Amino acid sequence: MSSLASAEKLLVLEIARSVLTSAVVQRDVPQKFPECEFAQQAAGAFVTLRRRGRLRGCIGQMASSDSLLQVVKQCARAAALDDPRFEAVRPEEVPEIEIEISVLSPAAEIAADQIEIGRHGLIVTRGRQRGVLLPQVAAEFRWSPERFLEETCAKAGMERDAWRHPGIRVEAFTAEVFSESEFRVQPGEPAK
């Protein structure tokens, strides 16, 4: 998927906000959304929710045949209600939630010495175990590439140095990341 224009980013954020609000407040997800050709393209994405700057939920789907619109709808709902690390978002929290969207590129295998912090997200896989961390995570915590690999392994439930062992698949992807704050949208308000 090519880079999104500002108006397209705003529309994706509005869709995520609509789904979040409806899922939490009415326990339903709206079915009608604006017709937009770019959002019908297949793409992977993560929806990250923050409340007062702290992570409140994050769910994503790697690239598949699902459209960006479908992925954002599913992930916005799941980040609010189904992230196993957190209790479901409560209706009174909705106005304080800030939404961040990461639209993902397809993943490709990468060597450890090619990882660029802030540019690459990582996927580490061994059999059914899989850990995924977004590019902004390593940049936020100022991790080295080795630490990034270790944390991704830990997220998968593997030993921290598993990435060094045969049979481990290490892949990287990039992400186009944007949030409501980028557009001066206050949490809980529609984008302008």
Domain map (residue ranges) of the chain: 6-104+176-183, 108-173
Architecture per CATH, domain 108-173, reads as 2-Layer Sandwich (3.30)
Nearest 5°: the CA angle 26, 102, 1 is 110
Task: Please state, for a pLDDT cut of 90, what percent of the chain lies above it.
Answer: 76
pLDDT of 35 strictly over 70: no
Instruction: Please enumerate in sequence order all residues whose Cβ is within 8 A of that of 22, keeping only pairs 6 or more positions apart, or say none.
Output: 28, 29, 30
Average pLDDT score, the chain: 91
Alpha-carbon span 45 to 53, nearest angstrom: 21
6-104+176-183: which CATH topology? Glycoprotein, Type 4 Pilin (3.30.700)
Give the pLDDT confidence of 56-97 residue by residue, as tens digits: 999 999 988 888 999 999 999 999 999 999 999 999 999 999
Tokens of 102: 């990461």
